[in-house]
Amino acid sequence: ADADRGAPTIFDKIIAKEIPSTVVYEDEKVLGFRDINPQAPVHVILIPKARDGLTQLSKAEARHEEILGHLLYAAKKVAEKEGILDGFRVVINDGPTACQSVYHLHLHVLGGRQMKWPPG
């Protein structure tokens, strides 16, 4: 239900280090860690440490502009660190129709293999 999408998620526990993750990028605003079910040789999840109502991109408001830009630039830094700057993909799944499963905004940074288009 839509109401459940404001509930805490597994990513809160990852941010709090209550459950382990392999962190590949971190700064004061965002955290990047390896996806537990990788869809490519490099698959990093990049999240804002403060969700601030950003359960999904479609809930974005003007106050989120800065963190949204910060996340996208951090995605480039993740790609650089992971050695996939020659070709990578950034994905945001928004809502059930797009297979979003965790309601804390996140970017998927994928690479290390040839990607297909359209993704399906």
Q: Which is nearer to ligand 5GP, 20 or 62 (CB)?
A: 20
State both tokens at 60. Answer: 């974005």
Q: Which of 33, 51, 54, 111 binds ligand 5GP (CB under 6 A)?
A: 33
Q: How far is CA 86 from CA 22, 36, 55, 72, 94, in A?
A: 23, 24, 31, 17, 26
Q: Please provide residue 68's backbone torsions phi and psi, each rounded to the nearest 5 degrees.
A: -65, -45
Q: Quick one: which segment of 23-31, 35-43, 46-54, 70-78 binds ligand 5GP (CB under 6 A)?
A: 35-43
Q: Which of 24, 45, 78, 109 binds ligand 5GP (CB under 6 A)?
A: 45
Collapsed DSSP state (helix, strand, coil) of residue 118: coil
Site residues (vs ligand 5GP, CB under 6 A): 10, 19, 21, 33-37, 45, 93, 99-102
